[in-house]
Chains A and B, each alone.
Chain A
């Protein structure tokens, strides 16, 4: 089995890209990734592309051929859809294709356009990720679903809105220097606490914004990297995926995310590491409570301990385990189908040393990314390591 290197990464700035099409956004990220890799588009053998709501947002289904063409590739492509974990799955399948020996060069990533819709339309489009019969018809929105989990968590383990506000403030602080982030500004714990209620107990500043953006990675086999003298020091050494019942009501415990636990255990075993060896993580904080549950599922904290991690300083820039140095979904933004790829792009930059926050993890050699779909009915975890 060959190893997989991240040869290049590309991102659009995340935010509102009024008047631009999804294909234009993805082309920008793809061309940036190819340039960063020093790989010619003609060497790419397949596009693995993540998108969730394009058929609703742009009336564009069948996006893989559209995006392959937009990126200037002359190969086939496949769209992967797993709600907010779409790009995570696209990357995972690219890793598997390279490891199998089937392909040597893959482009993987994703795109989402969201700001061209009204808030009610985005709410409706995102709700499609929930169980249509048993949740959507009962008024469960995406923020509403995480609110149900947050209240279940508080009831089972304790924790407070103030704990969650520290997660928001931390991730905003991390985004200040990130040129790709939607909100490059700090917020205070008090501002988060005082923001309007969206779905009790969650308020506006517990939620990620509505975002347009694209991500792309050039993934290559170790042999290709060596043969072509590529500067590709970061390897994807572990990949894992977990699944769970679609509806929150059917989970054994609504305050836990076992799909992420399963994905992490598979990825750790795949990489031959334990959670103790992870020095830095990008986790799926679509809501502040999601970061808390991720930290516990990934084995970084015991159940009930994750909620205080940001407040204690454990996961801040100066803490033992910096989490979401990119700003996370909360401040960097969450173009749903692009997010999983953007996490790996950010982690690659952090480990290579060319991320604006790399100095916070100057000695780090092992990083983890965690990308979740819906209320974590699906989860994808990757381990990235500095290979040379």
Chain B
């Protein structure tokens, strides 16, 4: 996917952040220790503009999840699929958990983040895999 496509809004920082989830994942940390995700210029908690990259914990715990049976048209992932919000402490991240159904996942499960490409949209697709 070309970053120079003039018809697509820039996701400055988002694509790089998502790509890093496959290896050295990171989040943004402000001067007061709040976590957030890029693209971001200001800490949404305190307004600090002093943001730096901090290492994302290698695994997180499922905070909530749903097995979704009706997908948007053209989404590129066939339902049913499981979407989960995973808690990494300073930040939470939402993604798809491939290969499980709603009975194969529970709150508190430990998962690690990864990134794929959504073939239908060309966008990054954040996924979680068994830790």
Contacts and interface: CB of A to CB of B under 8 A. Distances in A.
A38 interface: no
B102 interface: yes
A138 B68 contact: no
B107 A155 contact: yes
Nearest to A146: B66
A197 B69 CA distance: 7
Nearest to B79: A139
Contact of A141 (B11, B71, B121, B125): B71
A149 B125 CA distance: 22
B70 A248 contact: no
A250 B88 CA distance: 12
A147 interface: yes
B68 A139 contact: yes
Interface stretch (A13-21, A26-34, A127-135): A127-135
> By DSSP majority rule, is chain A's interface helix, strand, loop, or mixed?
helix
Contacts of A147: 66, 68
A148 B70 contact: no
A95 interface: no
A254 interface: yes
B74 interface: yes
Contact of A138 (B73, B83, B91): B83
B111 interface: no
Interface string B49-75: 000000000000001111111111111
A120 B120 CA distance: 15
A337 B36 CA distance: 31
A254 B118 contact: no
A52 to B, nearest CB: 16
B77 interface: yes
Nearest to A123: B72
Given A137-B125, A148-B85, A245-B44, A143 B92 contact: no
B68 to A, nearest CB: 5
B69 A199 contact: yes
A198 interface: yes
Contacts of B37: 134
A139 B69 contact: no
Contacts of B44: 245, 250
B77 A139 contact: yes
Contact of A139 (B71, B74, B91, B124): B71
Query: Which range holds the interface residue count of chain A?
Result: 35 or more
Given A137-B118, A148-B64, A152-B64, A248 B85 contact: yes
Contacts of B107: 151, 155
A303 interface: no
A181 to B, nearest CB: 24
Interface centre among A133, A196, A201 (most CB of B within 10 A): A133
A141 B72 contact: yes
Contacts of B14: 133
B28 interface: no
B71 A138 contact: no
Contacts of B96: 138-139
Given A123-B73, A139-B77, A200 B64 contact: no
A148 B68 CA distance: 10
A275 B41 CA distance: 39
A124 B75 CA distance: 8
Interface in A190-238: 196-202
Nearest to B125: A137
Interface in A245-270: 245, 247-250, 254
Contacts of B102: 200
A127 B66 CA distance: 15
Contacts of B64: 148-149, 151-152, 155, 254
Contacts of A196: 69
B111 to A, nearest CB: 13
A134 B94 contact: yes
Given A137-B125, A139-B77, A198 B94 contact: no
B126 interface: yes
A119 B68 CA distance: 14
Contacts of A120: 70-73
Nearest to A119: B70
Per CB-CB distance, the 5 closest pairs between chain A and chain B, nearest first, are A124-B72, A147-B66, A120-B73, A249-B92, A152-B64
Interface of A: 118-121, 123-124, 127, 133-141, 143-144, 147-149, 151-152, 155, 196-202, 245, 247-250, 254
28 contacts: A118-B73, A120-B70, A120-B73, A124-B73, A133-B14, A134-B37, A134-B93, A135-B94, A137-B126, A138-B83, A138-B95, A139-B75, A139-B83, A140-B94, A143-B70, A147-B66, A148-B64, A148-B83, A151-B66, A155-B64, A197-B69, A199-B69, A200-B66, A200-B67, A201-B66, A245-B44, A247-B94, A250-B44
